[in-house]
Structure formats: structure tokens, C-alpha cells
Chains A and B, each alone.
Chain A
Amino acid sequence: MKFEELSLLEIVDLLHSQKLSSVELTQYFIDRINDRKELNAVLEIYDDAIEQAKHADERIKNGFRGKLAGVPILIKDNILFKGKKASCASKFLENYVAQYNSTVVDKMLAEGAVILGRTNMDEFAMGSSTENSAYGNTLNAIDPMRVPGGSSGGSACAVRAGLCPVALGTDTGGSIRQPASYNGVVGIKPTYGRVSRYGVVAYASSIEQVGLFTKTVKDNAYMLSILSGGSQNDETSLKVEVPDYLAQIKGNIKGIKVGVLKEVSDAVKGLDVEKTYFDLIEFLKENGAEIVYTNMPHFALTLPCYYIIAPAEASSNLGRFDGIKYSRRSVTASNVDEIYVKSRSEGFGKEVKRRIMLGNFVLSSGYFDAYYNKAKKLQQKLKKEAEEVFKSCDVIILPTTTGEAFEIGSKTQDPIAMYKEDLFTILANILGVPALSVPCGKGSHGLPFGMQVLADCLKEGQVYNVADYIQRQYGR
């Protein structure tokens, strides 16, 4: 049986009914990962993966029916699993071993999951192509000449290449949705605070979220219900009830108000995604949705807003990697100042350094008001505009990317071009709202890209309902 072709829900069924053992399944995916080493999607298969699977089989035999009982799952390299390395794809944390479990790992373990290994990413989640990994770039699962997107490129590639049924990622400015788009899989960034960030190495704390990749929207909904929920270890996690998202998928979109932003419709003109975007809106209309033409005047400023807030927080969050305690210390340092300067100079990659410097600049005295404070004010303004939009819309449709995956190396010399990759994804992070990328069309080279469904905070159910409809009905 080709397990990589099964959905997560089908796999759970097989495991629960004991038609398939977790050991068999886990070994199958380990073999696949090893067969597809050239993708460089997985940095490490944990050496106790089979042990975990045996344990899961044991529990299933004894009647345990956890929602993920025996399911092998890959996690992004910035999510902590106690006793396992977590390097954030940085040389700096090459041998860093997690001292405790992240909340998401705890939640998955409680449901019986097998945590299979960790996936490649842009160093410290900074990048849009997984070319900023200290352990080599990951390939696009469909076209090896192209990038998988980033920063969660390893996870997206792994799901598309059938190396696991589900993989976790993090999304600070599009780091789940953009690679989902480029690999033709489903990726969600939930509402800010929906999933606890405890135990996830921070990049830009106020806007990032843990999310996940699956092949189907339904799998995604099933999985998010497991990962969600407030944590007493995370003040910013939302202490509100977690719905059964799968049950919120109704199978139709009749009467749903779909927002179309004027600024986005203008921005897509001439892009690879233009036709698909307008076709999709037409399709939704024909299938009973009500199209609401609306606007968000400051939409174009989301990009600069993000590239001030995120580096500012990053410059502070990454201060703890100083060569003193757990990150790699420069061997040539002979005093404290040298430990700092040399360890950080040697340990961090170029893009990380660029963002730390940007962040220090926008926070420095004399520039704070002109940059950081202005960006925060702009964020408030955008939230106000969104509030208006969501008064008349249930969801908003946006492209995820401007087109299909670009070629490896084509943007590495031009950071601004790389930053522009986030044009359509940043809005959801700045607003803190849920956004999902669902495969929707193909670009001029026949490669996939996705469209995004956004909704107001905590309306993931609405997002899943519309996205599921698109995935099952559009283009068929």
C-alpha cells in the first residue's frame, strides 16, 4: 500500500482499526525519507522513532484511541522536543538539545503521536526559500531546480513528497502558507494565540504562530483542533474553547460573504496568479457565495510594517544566543566581549545578521519613534480597517504568492526581492487573523500555487469550510 497517498484521516482509521501498525507505517516513512535524501527536507530522523511507534502500537493494542495514536509527524527544527536536537537550522545551535517539551509536542504526544524527526528551514525562520539553512537548502518537492519556499520549506516539501502525513511549521510572515503554495499542499497559520508558542524558538513573538501542513483541508482541520488551546505557560495564548474544526466543514458555501480587497485586485494585475484569483472569485460566486467588494487602504504598507516589527523583536529574541550558555562559543574568544562578538559573528548566517542589525536600528534611541512606533501605529490602523471589512465579510480571498516557486539562487542576491515574496501573506500576521493556503492553480511552468482564505480572529472553522470547498470543487 502506498501510505503516502493516504490522508491523515485515513491513516488514523487504519491505525485505530489495527489494520496497520505504527511500526510498519513509521518504518515506511523513514525509508521514504532516506530514499528522498536529495530533497534535504528532513534534518534528522529521531533515533527512537521506531521505539515510539512500538510504544504507540502497544497502547493501541490496550485500547488507546488517541487522535494521533501511532501517526508519524515531522516538526520544524525550531520546535522543542525534550532530549532531541533543535538547531533552528543554525550553526549556532548545531548541538543544542531541547531541555523541555514545547506545548505542541506535549499535545501531540498526549494523543499518541510518533514524533518522527525535524525538518529543514531558513535559519531562525528568517527567509522565504529555505536557502538560508546552515545545513543546505531544501528542494521543491515537484521541481528540484526550484525552491520549496520558506521558512518552513522542509515541512512543506516533506508533506508534498509523501515523507509524512502531517508536518508542523511556524509562520511569522508567511512561512507556512508560502511554502504550502509552492509545494501544492495545505498550510494554515492560525489566529495569533490559538496555538501556544511555548517551546518554540522565538523570532517575532507578537506575530508568529505554530501551524501545520497537510495534503487535505480536512486533515488540517482535524489536526488544528489537537494543537489548539490556551497554555498556562504562554500569556499570549488564548484561553478559549477549542471547537471541532472538522465538524465545522459544511460542504457548501451558500450565503457566505467573500471579501475581495480592491488593493489586492490591483496588486495581482500582471502577476502569474491573476487569472486564477479572479476565476476563483467567479467560481465562489457561482456556487452561492456573496462577493463583497471592499478595501483596506493601508494594505500596501503591510510589508514595511512587517520588516520593522519582525526584525525589532528578532534583535531582542536572538540576544540570548551569545555563546555564554548553550549556543556555540567561538574557540578563539579570550574574554567576555570576544565571546559575544566572535560567537555571534561566526554562529549567525547572513540574513539573520541583517535582520538583527535592522532590528537594532529601528529600536535605537532617536529612531524608535520614526520606525518601531510608527509601525505599531500602522498595525493598529490596519486592525481598524480589518474590523470594518469583517463587519461585512465572513472571509477574504487573497493569492498566497505572486506565482509559482522561483528558481534556486534567483533571489539570494536581492533581499528586497526576497522580502516581496511575503506581499500577500504578511497581512494575516499583522492582523493576527487565521489564514490558510489551499492549492488552487498552476503557473506558466506548470507548478502549483495556492490561494489564501482569511477570516476574523478565531474563525478557523469558517476558513476551513471555504477552503475545503475550494479544494474539492474548484477546477474539477
Chain B
Amino acid sequence: MQDYDIVIGLEVHAELKTKSKVFCSCKNQFGSLPNTNCCPVCVGLPGALPILNKKAVELVIKAGLTIDSEINNLAVFERKNYFYPDLAKAYQISQLVRPICIGGHIDLKSRRVRINRIHLEEDAGKLVHSSQAIGTLIDYNRGGVPLMELVTEPDITSADEAVEFLTNLRQRYIFADVAECKMEQGGMRCDVNISVKPKGSNVLGERTEMKNLNSFKSVHRAITYEANRQIEILKNGGKITQETRKWDDNHGKSISMRKKETSQDYRYFPDPDLLAVEISHDEVETIRKTLPMMPEQLKERYIKEYGLSEYEANIITKDKAIVDYYNKAISLYKNPKIVANWLLTDILSKIKDEQDSQIKISPEDLARILTLLEQSKISRTVAKDIFAKVWQDSANVDQLAKSLGGFVDDDSLQNIVKNIVENNQKAVSDYHTSETPEKVFRWFVGQVMKETKGKANAQTAEKIIKELLK
């Protein structure tokens, strides 16, 4: 393997997060009953015509801006013609000559991966292989779902890099809120183009393509397998044939599907039913303004402005849901460091324990707990209790604060301390005479805590004790 360079290019499909499909007003929704999100347009009835969903174009522009693409001022839809039962019209509306986004890049740890383009197209339906008696059925719900296809330059050199790239890209799409990228629902799929060449050679080898890999794990396995397969062939003096191969995840190997000679001629041409899409500079700039910060930018901000450690910033920015939660919480309770602390130690550990990514306490409730704590209205112990109870049964924070013995307010605390001091005059004199008054002071604090069942705010209690012992 060390004697060869691996050259990888990816084509990544992601379903856009729109309410309706790309060329009709049917719902873009996963998991509906078969053929319920369908209309004359998306099942390709004769005479039906596509109407472009402008929102889909907007989202692709947004996706492009996250990877520094140029946005074409004129985008054109073309027909890609081929026959397959899941393709209702026998052509897919896609883009060839004038895609929405051109160029761009993503920087990995080891290198920059250049992006060739992102274009907008429609997804196909789905074949459902049923019993032998019924045969194969077609569900057109997915037909016409907006899909963006990103194509990289062949800049990726290993399976690890491919997965790093995909992870990074997925994060950007999710952060920009353009796609949900739910791999298990086919929301993000990947085609891998791969070739190998003798180390350092400038001549690219013949490539093979593996289509529709739907998990990062299978991308990694498929690349590893296919690179090894090609290298073995070359080592044995053989030749690689350009072909499309199918990755069989169950058996962990790739199988030849279609040779180059029999490859399809898609007969692309501009779709006469759709107008070319003009995209103005202003429009792009307006969209750019709506672009949220990407993980890298957020990390920098968290460290520089909020004083988080790199470790903390890294963990929070890994997941958009956590970032959204964190940002909301610190808008309500303005101490980012404390919020981060709770988020990492309390929330994330709970999530880990429960193996359920849902955060079961609202940022509002967390902020309320932290505020009560800061105002010394509850003790740290009570705060943790409330947190646990809210997490468990989403109870009301303020009611809990009261019912858990509530918080001991300053006046009550004053009285409690006063009583303890009055009833323990010996200790008072010990405090004034002892060589270790600190020890006696601690005893008083202990008494207060005992009396209040730990609900007193320690700091306030200490302040009052010091005051009364003077």
C-alpha cells in the first residue's frame, strides 16, 4: 500500500430541508404512507409541468457559501435522460453546464479539498421489493424531493480523509440548516470515485466508481477495500478497468456493475419547461447575511470571547443541537463559562448515560436554575436536585425551589444564624479565644447547614455568621 497513492473524488448527495418538493407543492416528508405525497408533476403524468421551488435554490446558494463557492448569476436546469422505474418522467431534472455553485473548498487537517460544484436536482422515487406474488412496487413519495449534489476534485488521499471530509461537510450543512443529512433515511448519500497510481506518479490511474454509500462507515470500508483491490491488481501486473461497482456492505466487497463501454449516454439538454434562474449579487449577499457561524468560527468565538477552554469549545461545537442550546442558554443567563460547565458536566454526561441525544431540560429552565443559584436563592445542592427532577419529569423550576424546602431567603437565614449563635455562647467564646477560630467557624457553618438541611446558600450563611460573631 505504501508504494501507491490513492486518489479519491466524492459526489455527495444531500436532500434539502424544504417544506415542499423542488418542482411541485407536494410535501417533502420522509416516512409518509407510500404514494401519498404525490401529484401529476412528481409522478410525471402527461401534460404536467415543473414549477421551481425558489427556496431550494436559496438553500443550495447557502450551502455553497459555507464552502466558499462562487454563485452562478445564471443557473440552468437540464434533463438527464435515462430509463428506470423509479424515475417517473424517464428524465431527471438536474444541472450540467450552469450549476448554482461553482468551486469552493474544505480544509481538512492534512490538506485542502477543492470543490468542483454543487448543483440542484430532483430525487427519484423508491422501488419496494415486495413478495414474489406482488412483485416490485414503486413509491414516488421521494420523487421530486430536492437534492443537492456536491462534487469534489480528486484531492482526497485516504479513507480517513474521506470520512473527515464528509463529517466536516455534514456539519456545515446541518449548521447552515440547509439539510438534515439523516444518513439512515438516505438524506445524505455518497458516490466514491477511486483510482490508485505508483507513489509520486503524475499520471492518474483508471478509476472505478461506487454508488450510493449511505454511511460513513461503509464509505471507509468501501474505499479501503477498493484501494486494496486495485493495488493488488496492479501488483500482479493487471490492469484496472473503468467501471461502476456496487459496494456490498454485508459481504464487505465491491462487485462490478457496469463497464465503461456500456455506460449511459444521458443526452443532457436544457429543460424547455423551466426558465433559467437569474441569481443577483444582492440576493446572494442577502443569503450570506442569514448564514450562521460555522463550527470553526463558533469555536474561535467561544474561546476568545467567552473564555471557554479549547476542550469545552470543541465539544460544544461538534453538534448543532448543543450549539443552539448553548447559545439560547447564554442569552438568558449571561455567564457563558458557568453555562458551559453545566452543559459539559451535567447535561452531556446525562446524555451519555442515557444514550439518548435528547436534552430533557430547556435552556430556559437551566438559565432559571443558574439565576436562582447566583442570587443565592438556592444552594448548589438544591440546584442539582432541581436539575435532576426537571430532567426526569420536566417539572417546574420555581415550584421545585420552594417544595424542596425552597430556598432559604436572607431574612430567614439571618434568624436561623442568630438562634444558633444565641444558643451556643460557649462556642462563640471559643471562636474568639481559640488558636484555630477557623475550625469553630466551620462548626457554625455546619450547624446552619444542618438546621436548613443544606438549603442555605453557603456564602450568605458564612457572611452572616462572620457578621454575628464579631
Alpha-carbon distance between A325 and B40 when the two chains are bound, in angstroms: 12
Say yes or no for B88: interface residue by CB 8 A criterion.
Answer: yes
Say yes or no for A232: interface residue by CB 8 A criterion.
Answer: yes
The minimal Cβ–Cβ distance linking A131 to chain B, given in whole angstroms, is 23
Residue in contact with B89 in the complex, picked from A200, A233, A313, A319, CB distance below 8 Å = A319
Residue in contact with A197 in the complex, picked from B40, B45, B49, B90, CB distance below 8 Å = B49
Say yes or no for B248: interface residue by CB 8 A criterion.
Answer: no
Q: Which residues of chain A are near B46, meaning CB under 8 Å?
A: 80, 86, 88, 93, 96, 201-202, 320-321, 326
The minimal Cβ–Cβ distance linking B450 to chain A, given in whole angstroms, is 76
Say yes or no for B44: interface residue by CB 8 A criterion.
Answer: yes
A-B contact pairs, 13 of them (CB 8 A): A100-B40, A201-B46, A205-B273, A235-B50, A235-B275, A236-B272, A316-B91, A316-B267, A319-B89, A319-B91, A320-B90, A325-B43, A364-B265
- The answer to whether A80 and B91 touch across the interface, beta carbons within 8 angstroms, is no
B44, B45, B52, B138 pick with most chain A CB within 10 angstroms: B45
A interface residue count range (under 10 / 10 to 19 / 20 to 34 / 35 or more): 35 or more
Q: Which residues of chain A are near B90, meaning CB under 8 Å?
A: 316, 319-320, 322
Which of chain A's residues 191-212 have a Cβ closer than 8 Å to chain B? 197-202, 204-206
Say yes or no for A417: interface residue by CB 8 A criterion.
Answer: no
Alpha-carbon distance between A75 and B44 when the two chains are bound, in angstroms: 22
Stretch in B77-85, B149-157, B349-357, B404-412 touching the partner? B77-85
The minimal Cβ–Cβ distance linking B307 to chain A, given in whole angstroms, is 53
The 8 closest A-B pairs by CB, nearest first: A319-B90, A206-B272, A363-B267, A205-B272, A199-B47, A201-B46, A320-B44, A320-B89
Q: In this complex, what residue of B is CB-closest to A234?
A: B49
Alpha-carbon distance between A197 and B89 when the two chains are bound, in angstroms: 17
Say yes or no for B51: interface residue by CB 8 A criterion.
Answer: yes
Alpha-carbon distance between A315 and B267 when the two chains are bound, in angstroms: 10
Q: Which residues of chain A are near B268, meaning CB under 8 Å?
A: 363, 368
Classify the interface of chain B: helix, strand, loop or mixed. loop
Alpha-carbon distance between A456 and B31 when the two chains are bound, in angstroms: 51
Say yes or no for B48: interface residue by CB 8 A criterion.
Answer: yes
Say yes or no for B326: interface residue by CB 8 A criterion.
Answer: no
Say yes or no for B269: interface residue by CB 8 A criterion.
Answer: yes
The minimal Cβ–Cβ distance linking B133 to chain A, given in whole angstroms, is 16
Known contacts A236-B275, A316-B79, A319-B83, A372 near B51 by CB under 8 Å = no
Which of chain A's residues 230-253 have a Cβ closer than 8 Å to chain B? 232-236
- The answer to whether B44 and A325 touch across the interface, beta carbons within 8 angstroms, is yes
Give residues in B with beta carbon < 8 Å to A: 40, 43-52, 79, 81, 83, 85, 88-91, 138, 265, 267-269, 272-275
- The answer to whether A233 and B45 touch across the interface, beta carbons within 8 angstroms, is no
The minimal Cβ–Cβ distance linking B76 to chain A, given in whole angstroms, is 12
- The answer to whether B265 and A102 touch across the interface, beta carbons within 8 angstroms, is no
Residue in contact with B88 in the complex, picked from A197, A201, A205, A320, CB distance below 8 Å = A320
Known contacts A360-B267, A368-B269, A322 near B83 by CB under 8 Å = yes
Q: Which residues of chain B are near A86, meaning CB under 8 Å?
A: 46
Classify the interface of chain A: helix, strand, loop or mixed. loop
Known contacts A319-B89, A320-B90, A372 near B44 by CB under 8 Å = no
Residue in contact with B51 in the complex, picked from A197, A232, A326, CB distance below 8 Å = A232
Alpha-carbon distance between A102 and B91 when the two chains are bound, in angstroms: 22
The minimal Cβ–Cβ distance linking B409 to chain A, given in whole angstroms, is 64
Alpha-carbon distance between A326 and B89 when the two chains are bound, in angstroms: 12
The minimal Cβ–Cβ distance linking B36 to chain A, given in whole angstroms, is 15
Give residues in A with beta carbon < 8 Å to B: 80, 86, 88, 93, 96, 98-100, 102, 197-202, 204-206, 232-236, 312-313, 315-316, 319-322, 324-326, 336, 340, 360, 363-365, 368, 372
The minimal Cβ–Cβ distance linking A229 to chain B, given in whole angstroms, is 15
Known contacts A205-B273, A206-B272, A325-B88, A198 near B48 by CB under 8 Å = yes
Q: Which residues of chain B are near A98, meaning CB under 8 Å?
A: 47
Known contacts A233-B51, A313-B272, A324 near B45 by CB under 8 Å = no
Q: Which residues of chain B are near A316, meaning CB under 8 Å?
A: 79, 81, 90-91, 267, 269
18 new A-B pairs (CB below 8 Å) besides A80-B46, A363-B269? A86-B46, A96-B46, A102-B47, A199-B48, A200-B47, A233-B49, A235-B52, A316-B79, A319-B83, A319-B89, A319-B90, A321-B46, A322-B90, A325-B88, A363-B81, A364-B267, A368-B267, A372-B269
Q: Which residues of chain B are near A199, meaning CB under 8 Å?
A: 47-48
Alpha-carbon distance between A417 and B36 when the two chains are bound, in angstroms: 49
B85, B89, B90 pick with most chain A CB within 10 angstroms: B90
Residue in contact with B83 in the complex, picked from A202, A312, A326, A340, CB distance below 8 Å = A340
Q: In this complex, what residue of B is CB-closest to A200?
A: B47
Residue in contact with B49 in the complex, picked from A198, A206, A320, A321, CB distance below 8 Å = A198
Residue in contact with B47 in the complex, picked from A80, A236, A312, A322, CB distance below 8 Å = A80
Q: Which residues of chain A are near B47, meaning CB under 8 Å?
A: 80, 98, 102, 197-202
The minimal Cβ–Cβ distance linking B395 to chain A, given in whole angstroms, is 50
Q: Which residues of chain A are near B267, meaning CB under 8 Å?
A: 315-316, 360, 363-365, 368
- The answer to whether B49 and A99 touch across the interface, beta carbons within 8 angstroms, is no
Q: Which residues of chain B are near A324, meaning CB under 8 Å?
A: 85, 138
The minimal Cβ–Cβ distance linking B387 to chain A, given in whole angstroms, is 53
Known contacts A312-B269, A319-B83, A320-B46, A235 near B274 by CB under 8 Å = yes
